[in-house]
Amino acid sequence: MRKSKINVTMDQDLIEYVKSYADEQRTSVSEVFTQFILNLKRAKAKEPMDIILSDPDFRDSLLRTIKRVKSGDVQWHKYEEVF
């Protein structure tokens, strides 16, 4: 898809925050805005599962859990044992 530029006016403290956040996440400011807008678009399209899966921490946790289940490293418990 062809990309275009957009100008956004923001308070200086927000600009510094988004730059710092992008740096901490090892991504770009442009990608932070792209993900934010995509989340808005998914919410409007009523695709809540896409919103959940777009969270990097949740996605990583889910992939680790799937890997543990597939490898047999998960110890299963009966409902009565847990509650």
Please give the angle made by the CA atoms of 33, 36 and 39, to the nearest 5 degrees: 150
In the chain, % of residues over pLDDT 70:
88
The tens digit of pLDDT for each residue in 20-59 reads 999 998 999 999 999 888 877 776 666 666 666 777 888 8
